[in-house]
Amino acid sequence: MLAINSLATRLSLLFALVSMLLLGSIGTYLYHSLTREIAWRDDQMLQGRLERLEAILSNGESVDMLQHRSHLYANMMGNRDNLLWILDNTGQTLIEVNPSDLPVPNLPTTNTVRLMETAGPVQARLAWHTFEQEGRPLTLIAGKLLDERNQMLRAYRLRLWFALAIGALLAFLLGWGVSRHGLQPLRRLIEQANRINIRQLDRRLDVTGEAQEISNLSHGLNRMLDRLEDGFSQLSRYSADMAHELRTPLTNLLGQTQHALRRERSDAEYRQVLESNIEEYERLSRMIDSMLFLARTESPSRKLICDSVDLGEMVLQLCEYFEGMAEDGARALINEASGTVVANHDLIRTALANLIANALRHGSPGTPIHISTMDLGERIKLCVHNHGPIISPDDLTKVFERFYRGDPARSGVVDSGGLGLAIVHSIAQWHDGEVQVESNAEDGTTFSLTLLRA
């Protein structure tokens, strides 16, 4: 359950770390203030002791008398922690209370009270002071062994470490519980997401009453599902349309071949069937080519190889190509295009050829077809305009979909199989370009392709 990559585990580890840092710093702070406080109080006590001793000696008591009146410092005697020395100016010990047998410290003379710690196996804190009695300098030294204090602090430190460990552990456990509880909505989200599959792509994640972060996430996922559902339904529609489109030539092939084989026929008849079959095969082949082309342009795995393309020249070439078809309908192809764009030469030519073929297919006889360019600064907009029946506003959004035909009756062998404009659209997208269509009764129909200027 405690997988290291689980969010709950990570969060609880973080909780533990944070509480360790927090408890640790508080503990350190408290420990240090306690140490300082104790040291201060000890120093006060030592200084007080020196002052009292000095007061006694100033009141005329001699050191000799003090030696005999040991009750004055008797409270120190049973206590193994306390030290006291009175030294004369030669370093001779006059009075000594030294239960731990520390060596007599060798200290510089000083008129003010000074404090120090002795080094060595037995540590002690000393306060000393030189003081003159009847012309004789005496050094008073009061001390306290640090053993007890150190012991106490050591025990205190241990308790702090213990508290820290327990605290961290508690924080970890609590954090784990809290995280698991806090991540409950996420688990609900997973359950919901698990229920969505290909058959139920219309299902969405329920966001009512969830925390803001979760509902944001769910909204994001829902939007993604919208797009996926769109794409998916488009794909299934394509597949259905594709199957349907393939069925027409296949039906012809199957039917006419079976019909021909029903009885003996003349060579000419057989020939006719075979020839007709070829036409259907060509249609199938073209459709497959177009679909393959679309599949390839829509998978962005391959990089587009671009160079600069002179639109005027390309349109001129295409106008020559379509000249015959145009003149058949008493139409003129008018080339008003100029400028250079960054594009893949072959793809743009295919796109343009499809647009011109489309204009020829739908333009009214006797009206010209204009191919012009418009300068949009960084981009060039290439327009193919024809007069003729307008495209209804409903259809305007659909003309670039695959297998879409404005007028189902208009399909035929020379038709692009409903893929021509879809190919234009996908070429434009591959170029990061844009393809648009406008159609109204006054101005006719204009398809435009916007490309980056070279």
Can you give the binding site for another protein, defined by CB under 8 A? 274-279, 281-282, 285-286, 288-290, 292, 317, 320-325, 327-328, 346, 349-350, 353, 357, 360, 414-417, 420
Nearer to another protein, 13 or 352 (CB): 352
Instruction: Indicate the residue among 154 and 271 with the shorter CB distance to another protein.
Output: 271
Where b means 16+ CB within 10 Å and e means fewer, 407-427 reads eeeeeeeeebbbbbbbbbbbb
CB of 331 vs another protein, minimal distance in Å? 12
Smallest distance from another protein to CB 432, Å: 20
Cβ distance to another protein smaller for residue 226 or 279: 279
Q: Which is nearer to another protein, 131 or 322 (CB)?
A: 322
Phi, psi dihedrals of residue 365, rounded to the nearest 5°: -60, 145
DSSP letter assigned to residue 120: S
With respect to another protein, which residue has the nearer C-beta, 113 or 273? Answer: 273
Name the residue among 353, 320, 360 with its Cα closest to residue 420: 353
Sign of CA dihedral 312, 317, 320, 322: negative
d(CA 192, CA 204) in angstroms, rounded, equals: 8
As beta bridge partners, residue 93 has: 87
- List of residues 6+ apart from 140 with CB closer than 8 A: 50, 53, 54, 85, 86, 128, 129, 130, 131
- Enumerate residues 6+ apart whose C-beta is below 8 A from 60: none
Phi and psi at residue 333, to the nearest 5°: -95, 115
Q: What's the closest the beta carbon of residue 261 comes to another protein, in angstroms?
A: 19
Chain mean position to CA 363 = 52
Nearer to another protein by C-beta: 16 or 423? 423
**What is the helix (H) or strand (E) element at residue 30, kind and residue range?**
helix 7-58
* Closer to another protein by Cβ: residue 81 or 241: 241
Strands (DSSP E) along 59-109, which ranges?
A: 82-88, 93-97
- State the nearest-atom distance from the C-beta of 290 to another protein, in Å: 8
Nearest of 385, 380, 18 to residue 170 by alpha carbon = 18
| Distance (Å, whole) CA 287 – CA 293 | 10
- The distance of closest approach from Cβ of residue 325 to another protein in the complex, given in angstroms and rounded to an integer, is 5
Backbone angles phi, psi at 139, to 5 degrees: -105, 120
In the complex, least distance from residue 318 CB atom to another protein, rounded to whole angstroms: 8
Q: How far apart are CA 424 and CA 351, in angstroms?
A: 5
- Which residues make Cβ contacts (< 8 Å) with residue 284, sequence separation at least 6? 246, 249, 250
Please, what is the minimum distance in Å from the beta carbon of residue 454 to another protein?
21
Cβ proximity to another protein: between 214 and 348 the closer is 348
Shortest distance, position 266 Cβ to another protein, whole Å = 16
CB closer to another protein out of 185 and 417: 417
CA atoms of 361 and 416, how far apart (whole Å): 10
Q: Which is nearer to another protein, 202 or 323 (CB)?
A: 323
Instruction: State both tokens at 236.
Output: 């299934």
Residue 427 Cβ, how far from another protein at the closest point, in Å?
A: 12
CB of 410 to another protein, least distance (A): 14
- Of 124, 127, 125, 126, the residue nearest 112 (C-alpha): 127
- In the complex, the smallest distance separating the C-beta of residue 234 from another protein, rounded to whole angstroms, is 23
Q: How far is the CB of 265 from another protein (least distance, A)?
A: 17
- HSE, side-chain direction, 13 A CA sphere, residue 188: 16
Q: Which is nearer to another protein, 257 or 350 (CB)?
A: 350
What's at 287, amino acid-wise? M
Considering the complex, state which of residue 290 and residue 445 has its C-beta at the smaller distance from another protein. Answer: 290
